[in-house]
């Protein structure tokens, strides 16, 4: 990314420099456009599930900026020798999620490729006062995570034929869930910062938020929600390569006493597919969180900047 020229324009509200979830462009004084795209290779066997997951994942970056998706386009790569009903099921899954989001699926583009891939380019709208970025967390804010961790590890267990039906179903359900309701909660509770948890795992995205906001973040290890059985799969060594990359890249920015030596810490670096929103909410508003969903968990707080961005306690 370092070779891409940095663009400065007064209409570009969020660009490449902030490592945020999507680009944001000022249309006029009351409306910003959010633009994003995301696509990947199948992570579950069921094509319809995969389509829904890939679409929920792509739509998530619009929600993470506080916006509403309005328009989506398919991105498809497909091998010429694969059964076309498989592709139809993927596209049906994607289309159903876009309908659920109230956006319009209005076209797309496909290319022949050895490995199938699917995703969306999504355009959304947000008003300036609703725009949420990862760079505005305030000292004293309470940290909320809206989905449990473990999807990367469970996907690895699925690929290795080691996942049981129950944990597979739970992970699929988590990944298919739109972050729309979580975004509504963030806006109603006047969140200061927001991002979604994807490839860098909980700790990677937390570090980005802390770094961009010039604060540190304290996480209570035992409060972090984790999908059932994830720990068992970690103990079997079913950890995706991305978790080790994240650990290598981020570990020196975390103060954790001995926790990072424990097996469970792999879950905190686990790359998530269609993960939840990570939101910082002013302390005065946090007691209203139970009015939304019991799935939204308080996992820590924003503290004054220390020499490490994350403190695991």
For Co ion, the binding residues (CB under 5 A) are: 21, 38, 61, 109, 196
Nearer to Co ion, 109 or 190 (CB): 109
The length of the chain in residues reads: 313
Nearer to Co ion, 109 or 288 (CB): 109
Nearer to Co ion, 196 or 266 (CB): 196
Tokens for 58, please give them. 């792509």
Shortest Cβ distance from residue 109 to Co ion (Å)?
4
| 209 close to 195: Cβ distance less than 8 angstroms | yes
Nearer to Co ion, 171 or 277 (CB): 277
Shortest Cβ distance from residue 310 to Co ion (Å)?
18
| 200 close to 250: Cβ distance less than 8 angstroms | yes
Shortest Cβ distance from residue 272 to Co ion (Å)?
10
- 38, HSE (Cβ side, Cα atoms, 13 Å): 25
Shortest Cβ distance from residue 250 to Co ion (Å)?
16
| 6 close to 16: Cβ distance less than 8 angstroms | yes
Shortest Cβ distance from residue 198 to Co ion (Å)?
5
Nearer to Co ion, 167 or 177 (CB): 177
């Amino acid at each position: 990314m370092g070779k891409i020229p940095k663009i400065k324009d007064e209409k570009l509200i969020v660009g490449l420099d902030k490592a945020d979830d999507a680009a944001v462009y000022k249309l006029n004084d009351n409306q910003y456009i959010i633009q994003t795209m995301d696509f990947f290779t199948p992570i579950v066997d069921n094509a319809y599930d995969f389509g829904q997951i890939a679409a929920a994942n792509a739509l998530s970056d619009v929600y993470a900026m506080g916006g509403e998706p309005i328009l989506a386009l398919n991105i498809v790569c497909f091998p010429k020798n694969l059964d076309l009903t498989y592709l139809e099921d993927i596209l049906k899954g994607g289309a159903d999620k876009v309908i659920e989001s109230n956006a319009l699926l209005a076209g797309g583009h496909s290319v022949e490729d050895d490995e199938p891939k699917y995703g969306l380019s999504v355009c959304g709208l947000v008003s300036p006062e609703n725009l949420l970025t990862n760079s505005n967390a305030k000292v004293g804010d309470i940290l909320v995570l809206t989905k449990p961790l473990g999807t990367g590890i469970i996907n690895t267990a699925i690929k290795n034929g080691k996942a049981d039906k129950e944990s597979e179903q739970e992970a699929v359900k988590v990944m298919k869930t739109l972050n729309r309701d979580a975004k509504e909660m963030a806006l109603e509770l006047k969140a200061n910062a927001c991002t979604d948890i994807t490839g860098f795992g909980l700790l990677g995205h937390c570090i980005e938020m802390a770094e961009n906001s010039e604060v540190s973040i304290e996480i209570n290890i035992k409060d972090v929600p984790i999908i059932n059985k994830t720990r068992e799969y970690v103990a079997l060594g079913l950890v995706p390569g991305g978790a080790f990359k994240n650990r290598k890249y981020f570990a020196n920015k975390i103060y954790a006493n001995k926790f990072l030596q424990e097996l469970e810490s792999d879950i905190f670096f686990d790359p998530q597919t269609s993960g939840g929103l990570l939101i910082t909410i002013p302390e005065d508003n946090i007691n209203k969180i139970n009015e939304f969903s019991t799935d939204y968990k308080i996992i820590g707080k924003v503290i004054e900047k220390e020499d490490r961005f994350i403190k695991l306690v």
